[in-house]
Every structure is written in structure tokens, then in C-alpha cells.
Chains A and B, each alone.
Chain A
Amino acid sequence: SAVISQKPSRDICQRGTSLTIQCQVDSQVTMMFWYRQQPGQSLTLIATANQGSEATYESGFVIDKFPISRPNLTFSTLTVSNMSPEDSSIYLCSVPGIEAFFGQGTRLTVV
């Protein structure tokens, strides 16, 4: 089973600023997924990060707001740009495989 590490685990940010979340996997994976979980809600897929190509965004999510990097097969970052209080959520990365595991998540609060 894959081990997924996310940093930071939590942060409190001022509106208008940006936060970059890191996701590290202990094995090489072709795809990495970024999810958002708004307070009291289920998980929603933001985008799929592919190594060597641009990320694929789901409906309602755009690259300008959530730029993603995927420099190698074990690492990805998600940036939440120009934050507003509505961006307060848990952000999670995941990798596909035989089983679907998640990192512990990044709890973001925007004030």
C-alpha cells in the first residue's frame, strides 16, 4: 500500500494570499489526484495531476485558482490562489492503485 504524506497538515491564511500544499508518495505513480472537502461535506475531485503534462481539471475548478505542479512521479503540489473564506476546506491528495489511499489532508482556514 502507498504511503502518502502531505504538508502542511493545517494552516490559517489571510484572504488574498496563496498557499501551496505538497504531496509526497513513497512509490512512483502515474497519476495523483487532488480533492477538496468543504466543511461537513463529501469529497470532490479538483484535478488529476499527470507527470509530464498539464493537470486535468474537473468542472468548476480552474487552473488559475488551483495551479498544480507534478515535477516527478512521486511528488505534486496544489496551490490555492487568491484565497477567500470560501476556500476554507480540507485538501487531500490521493493515488490510484489496487487500493485508493489518501494523505492525511491539509486543513485550510482562510480569515
Chain B
Amino acid sequence: GENVEQHPSTLSVQEGDSAVIKCTYSDSASNYFPWYKQELGKGPQLIIDIRSNVGEKKDQRIAVTLNKTAKHFSLHITETQPEDSAVYFCAARNDYKLSFGAGTTVTVRA
């Protein structure tokens, strides 16, 4: 089955700086890669996703890149704000099943 690895497990950044989270996947058949933000006590919220036929996607301060050859994808958050503090999960989907990374706890320091 699919194996998704996510790094780093924790990330502390100064407000206004950028944050980067990286994930690798094992199954070359995976074709959909969503990112979720989870705040304390809430379910994961889809913040951005990318499909295997696209190399990069951007939505305001958030961007995701995908390298299919290397089987890795990354989340980039620019101009971080305190409300970006949360746990972020990457995932890879193959045959309708999502496999998740272990999560990254992002703390934005004011």
C-alpha cells in the first residue's frame, strides 16, 4: 500500500516568514495530493490540493508543488500569520483511498 512520509514533525517560524512542509509517497499510481489544516478540536480542513498532471498550484499565500518523478510534494506558506498555527497533514490518494502523513505542528511566533 501507499506510504506517506512528512517532514518536519514540528516547525516554528517568525510571523511574516515562510513555512515549508515536505512529503514523499511510495506508490507511483497515486494521483491526487491534498493538504489539510487541523485546528485544535476540529476535523481536518482541505486547504489546497494538486493532481498528478500539474506541477504547481497556488492559492493566495499557499502553494503546493509536485515532483512526480521523485515522488514528493511540498506545501509552502508565505507571509505566515498567527492564525496559520495548526497541524498540517499531507495525503496521497490511490484508488479512492487516502494515506496520510504523520502531520506537522506549525507554530507562528508573533
Which A residues have a C-beta under 8 Å from some C-beta of B?
6, 31, 33, 41-45, 48, 90, 92, 94, 96, 99-105, 107
Chain B residue at smallest Cβ distance from A105: B43
Which B residues have a C-beta under 8 Å from some C-beta of A?
32, 34, 36, 41-46, 49, 89, 91, 93, 96-103
Q: Bound state CA distance, A58 and B101, in angstroms?
A: 17
Whether A100 contacts B49 in the complex (CB less than 8 A), given A42-B100, A42-B101, A42-B102, comes out as yes
B43, A103: Cβ atoms closer than 8 Å: yes
Query: Binding site of A, secondary structure by majority: helix, strand, loop or mixed?
Result: strand
Whether A43 contacts B89 in the complex (CB less than 8 A), given A100-B34, A104-B42, comes out as yes
A100, B41: Cβ atoms closer than 8 Å: no
Q: Bound state CA distance, A31 and B97, in angstroms?
A: 10
Q: Which residues of B contact A48 (CB under 8 A)?
A: 96-97
A94, B98: Cβ atoms closer than 8 Å: yes
B96, A31: Cβ atoms closer than 8 Å: yes
A100, B91: Cβ atoms closer than 8 Å: yes
A99, B100: Cβ atoms closer than 8 Å: no
B43, A90: Cβ atoms closer than 8 Å: yes
Q: Which residues of B contact A102 (CB under 8 A)?
A: 36, 43-46
B96, A96: Cβ atoms closer than 8 Å: yes
A107, B41: Cβ atoms closer than 8 Å: yes
Chain A residue at smallest Cβ distance from B101: A42
A104, B46: Cβ atoms closer than 8 Å: no
Chain B residue at smallest Cβ distance from A97: B96
Q: Which residues of B contact A33 (CB under 8 A)?
A: 97-98
